[in-house]
Structure 1
Amino acid sequence: MVVAAKRPRTFEVVFHDPNKRFYCSGDKVSGNVVLEVSETTAVSAIRVLGIGCAKVAYSKGKQKCRDEVEYLRYEEEVHLDKRDGNSSVTLTPGKRYEFLFGFELPGPGRLASSHEGKFGYVRYYVRASMETASQHAFQCERRFEVEEPLDVNTPDLLAPATASTVKKVTCMFIPDGQVSIAAKIDRKGFCEGEVIAIDAKFENTCSRIVVPKAAIVSKHTFLATGRNKVLRQKLCSVRGDHIISGMGDVWQGKSICVPKLKPSLKGCDIIAVDYALMIYVHIPGSEKLSVELPLVIGTIPYCGINSRTNSMLSYASAGGSCVSFPSAPPSYSNIQRELGADNGLTPLLDDYEQDEDEEEEGGLFMRPPVAPYPPPPPPPYSEVDEELRCRTHPVQAV
């Protein structure tokens, strides 16, 4: 028997549905382990492992912070047709061998969605290992995505969110008025592409010109060895008009669109991804004043019909058919010029007698005038000052 330690020509994991974007709790993950050897090889075992884990690793000073949580562990030994009591099976080159595998993911609440972050990740993959009679082992693996459904139609996420704050401004330790914010949104749960309508009130009694703004921010939290590391990032923003001293501003449905985002990560023990709507005021020479309204980015979109946001989107998708625009103005060629008229007014509509067809149509229509001659050309262009010409060449009375 010839035993080879060379790497197989083909050794890979192929899923039955390679176009599937992600799996959910309770789904079945199945496929084949495809194997082609380059030389005659004695294989003693082929094992398939389904693994899902979250890992966090970062440095805080001189301390190395690491942690790991396992969410999936499945192991299966592929059946090999061993004959005559042999401890291995012989594979020959030129043939394609496929070994079937399959397993079910745990039920709802036991998995965390896939995530890739700067200091940690949540990954799921299928790993296949082949053991030969010469104790050489070869491995291959293929990752798959898990996305737990997150419904934004729950009562908690449909409840409105409000916040308010006031800041007293000083100049050289002398009181200089104050700036206040009061903000509200209709609900907390949104999905990618939806529009958030912001209601807010700003008041400025200080001597400076302030600018109100709003932004969607993300907050990534990584936990390891009792410590945490937080990363914040501004994703998109809108701004309002300047507010001068003694004045205020009111936002009624100020819109900001949710960009393409990963859903909120709630089911992981060591990694959390949260979102918030930050409404703030930029104050020159002082720290900004801000409030944050919690947001949850889900996977199942809002299905209500009474929301102002939903009605705006429905109206936009319908094309706004109830809005009528005025027609274009008539051409100058359709206007009759009566140069010899005593008054300076030129009628735009002609009196006419309605025919039977026109009476059926109803309404008042613009009609092109019937002139016996074409309209006169415009006056010639001249750069001579008429007032100066009259002074140098006075007109003599006859």
Structure 2
Amino acid sequence: MVVMSKRVKTFEVIFSDPSKTFYCSGDKVAGKILVEVAEVTRVSAMKVLGVGCAKVEYAKGKQKCREENEYLRYEEVVQLDDQPADHDGSVILRPGNKYEYMFGFELPQQGQIVSSYKGKFGYVQYYVKAFMERPAQPALECMKHFEVEEPLDVNTPDLLSPTGGMKEKKVTCMFIPDGQVSLNAKIDRKGFCEGEDICICAKFENTCSRIVVPKAAIISKHTYQANGRTKVFRQKLSSVRGNHIISGMCDAWQGKTIRVPKIKPSMLGCNIIRVEYALMIYMHIPGSEKLILELPLVIGTAGLGSRTNSMSSTDGSVSNASASWVSLRMPSAPPSYCDVTRDCRLDQPLTPLLNDYDGDDSPIFMHASAFQFPNLPAYSEVDEEFSGNAHMLQVC
């Protein structure tokens, strides 16, 4: 934000490293205040203010709920190095010149600052604001925001430990017992980064008369606190589903995966805004409330732990191994049509499925989705002679 006048042509905040996308705790925020004037202007003082604050604001009926926390407060009066000042500290700026006021300050240490955030009912923002004070005239001001991202390491023993749980529910129909459903699930760890796959091992049992569908989803939970009140905003980010389970049957997931989407890391250090994530494993029961098991997740900043690097190195070694096999030019077996159709059946079962309703009052009816087998896979064989000349043989 820049407030200009006819006398001032340019008045803006410029950071020393414009390509830097975010800062961490302990980093130095440095830059300059660039000023150009259209006519002779006397500046009595140039002040720089660095601010970082969290703010929550929402309405609860007729009551306005508002709360603020401050994480950064920096103030400084900056001077021009090569410009002589009068006895009162003021300087005269003349047209045709560019004047640069340098500033710099350090962010608080880890644990005393939180990441930038913008949500439905609150935000955490950081900015640098400059004030140009002039005699007998209102002060001019300009402001520029910068992002802060606190590192969150998910390679701690607590976040690397597995977690799981079990839930069961008795189902009734018109107050008459109708059996029960149960689920037992676990994951190998609680800490993940963006783009990683969560492997789910779960068992689902259905002894009621209805057809149930097991599902899993990554959800976010944003908690806002103001004036002693709490407001929670939940959102589903990504989801997967399994095959339907008829009465008297069970199903098991052995390493079913769901990928962590592009999301902000967990924010656990702010007193008035909290961002948490969970893996929700549940069973959709027509005509009844869902059976839900929530496993807590902590989303960390990418590139901190050795797991991401080891994954990339593993991928690289696999690709190198594949390249070495290709260099041998050994003929490979043609793809199996059975494998192709089996994969398709896993993605889209041949048997009818219940409509994908997540509401509590979803109707009980079947919906048969259309299914078509794919065409036979095309392939070719390479017949290599000792001389190294390869002849392509078309297979019909």
The question of a shared fold, defined as TM-score above 0.5 by the shorter chain, is answered with yes
Matched, 1:218 2:220: yes
SS of the residue corresponding to residue 111 of structure 2 reads coil
Change (3 A) 1:328 1:216: closer
Aligned residue among 113, 116, 132 for 2:115: 113
Alignment-derived partner of residue 288 in structure 2: 286
SS of the residue corresponding to residue 159 of structure 2 reads helix
TM-score by length of 1: 0.77
Q: Distance in 2 between matches of 1:83 and 1:186?
A: 66
Aligned residue among 326, 333, 338 for 2:333: 326
Change (3 A) 1:15 1:171: same
SS of the residue corresponding to residue 9 of structure 1 reads strand
The alpha-carbon deviation at position 38 of structure 1 amounts to 1.7
The alpha-carbon deviation at position 192 of structure 1 amounts to 0.5
Matched, 1:76 2:67: no
Change (3 A) 1:34 1:166: same
The alpha-carbon deviation at position 93 of structure 1 amounts to 1.3
Change (3 A) 1:312 1:257: farther
Alignment-derived partner of residue 140 in structure 1: 142
Matched, 1:299 2:301: yes
The alpha-carbon deviation at position 266 of structure 1 amounts to 1.1
Aligned residue among 103, 122, 125 for 1:123: 125
The answer to whether the 8 A contact 2:7-2:39 is kept is: no
SS of the residue corresponding to residue 169 of structure 1 reads strand
Alignment-derived partner of residue 15 in structure 1: 15
Gaps of 5+ in 2: 337-384
Gaps of 5+ in 1: 330-356, 369-398
The alpha-carbon deviation at position 318 of structure 1 amounts to 2.6
Change (3 A) 1:107 1:138: same
Change (3 A) 1:314 1:115: same
The alpha-carbon deviation at position 170 of structure 1 amounts to 0.6
The alpha-carbon deviation at position 286 of structure 1 amounts to 0.4
Q: Distance in 2 between matches of 1:208 and 1:265?
A: 40
Change (3 A) 1:119 1:217: same
Matches within 5 A, 1:375-390: none
Alignment-derived partner of residue 100 in structure 1: 102
SS of the residue corresponding to residue 141 of structure 1 reads strand
The percentage of aligned residue pairs carrying the same residue is: 64
Change (3 A) 1:113 1:179: same
Change (3 A) 1:107 1:283: same
Alignment-derived partner of residue 46 in structure 2: 46
Alignment-derived partner of residue 389 in structure 1: none
Alignment-derived partner of residue 235 in structure 1: 237
Change (3 A) 1:187 1:5: closer
Matches within 5 A, 1:246-257: 246-257=248-259
Question: What is the one-letter code of the residue matched to 1:276?
Answer: A
Aligned residues: 330
Q: 119-128 or 132-141, which moves further after superposition?
A: 132-141
Matched, 1:58 2:65: no
Q: Which has the higher strand share?
A: 2
Larger radius of gyration: 1
Encode CA deviations 1:136-185: one digit per residue, 9 max, x unaligned.
20000110000000000011111111011000001111111100010100
The alpha-carbon deviation at position 215 of structure 1 amounts to 0.3
The answer to whether the 8 A contact 1:152-1:300 is kept is: no
Alignment-derived partner of residue 157 in structure 1: 159
Question: What is the one-letter code of the residue matched to 1:172?
Answer: M
Large movers: runs of 4+ above 6 Å: 310-313
The alpha-carbon deviation at position 314 of structure 1 amounts to 3.7
SS of the residue corresponding to residue 318 of structure 1 reads helix
